[in-house]
Amino acid sequence: MKVLLLVLSQLAIGLCAENRTLFQYIQGNSEFSILEGLLNQAQLSGALDSPGTLTIFAPTNDAFNKLTPGLLSNLQGVDTTALTNLLLYHVTNGILIAPLLTNGMSVTALNNRTFTINKYPNGKVVVDGSTVTGGDTILTNGVLHAVDTVLFPAVLSISQYLARDESEFIDLFSALNLVGLETVLREKGHYTLFAPNNDAFNNALGSLESLTADKDAFANILKYHVVNQTMFSAGLTDGMKLTTLQGTDLTVHIDSTGVHINNALVVKADQPLTNGVIHQIDSLLTPV
């Protein structure tokens, strides 16, 4: 397998259609002008302009403009160390062209942090929640994949994130603790949690008292919200079935009103975490 990867990597460079380096390509494309400026500021442009074999997941200007107000300004400020670490998180040694990418693949970035690649049946490739919008630009010293979101290393597990965000998930976190599922979502793994927010629990107060009286039944309901694979929204398709920890399937519905999991609307998607992803939903899901 290693020999095959090496051959494919070398073949990619040998068939290079662009007689430019990674940095020259970034410099010559207006959609990467913010990235170009940050690379210059962090004194990393030379590394992407030198001979070698690198892969960069390059955020477009639109990706940087999606950052919360003030964050981009902070990146363009005086903290060069933080900026350098962030930019290095988007780059890895070696050539990662599309045929070499696999679902669940773990990649070590140049800042020694790891990120996960998900490759879905619909052809979408997602890197820690950021979708590849333009891939396999082969250059003289590597390959560039354009991505639609700036990558930040996840530091919290699903359980840790729920515990921290009391404004949205205090009821869900308490429920998971009650039935012993909190520890599962704290451990290593690849999970998707369709997470009912506090409003969803408030709307179900009438039935919750009877449900919680039977701890095993309530545990099954909560397990019905968890899928044992990492499914970012880019990989979801209309009519898709997702098998839950409870054992039965959820159905994805996508239409003009948004993404629905059974009858629940996804109100906030794609929170990447160390052991998977959270999609916030507006109602509890009940196994049929």
Confirm if 156 and 186 have CB atoms less than 8 A apart: no
Residue 209: pLDDT band (50, 70, 90) is: low
Average pLDDT, rounded, for the chain: 91
249: exposed, middle or buried (Cβ count in 10 Å: 0-12, 13-18, 19+): middle
Kindly tell me if the per-residue pLDDT of 76 is higher than 90.
no
**What does the pLDDT average to over 213-218?**
83
Q: Compare 262 and 13 and report the one with higher pLDDT.
A: 262
Cα 159 to Cα 23, 143, 181, 211, 280, distances in angstroms = 39, 36, 9, 22, 14
Q: Compare 17 and 276 and report the one with higher pLDDT.
A: 276
Residue 5: pLDDT band (50, 70, 90) is: very low
pLDDT attached to residue 16: 53
pLDDT attached to residue 11: 52
pLDDT attached to residue 35: 97
pLDDT attached to residue 1: 47
CB burial of 77-99 (b: ≥16 within 10 Å; e: otherwise) equals eeeeeebbbbbbbbbbebbbbee
CA pair distance 277, 271, nearest whole angstrom: 5
Confirm if 225 and 285 have CB atoms less than 8 A apart: yes
CA pair distance 266, 6, nearest whole angstrom: 41
Kindly tell me if the per-residue pLDDT of 211 is higher than 50.
yes
List, for residues 184-197, the tens digit of each pLDDT value. Answer: 999 999 999 999 99
**What does the pLDDT average to over 168-192?**
94
Looking at the DSSP assignment, which residues form a beta bridge with residue 251? 241
pLDDT attached to residue 6: 47
Kindly tell me if the per-residue pLDDT of 279 is higher than 50.
yes
Q: Pairing mode, if any, of strands 241-243 and 249-255?
A: antiparallel
Kindly tell me if the per-residue pLDDT of 265 is higher than 80.
yes
Domains of the chain (ranges, CATH numbers): 2-147 (2.30.180.10), 158-281 (2.30.180.10)
Kindly tell me if the per-residue pLDDT of 4 is higher than 50.
no
Looking at the DSSP assignment, which residues form a beta bridge with residue 250? 242
For 73, the token pair is: 């300004």
pLDDT attached to residue 212: 67
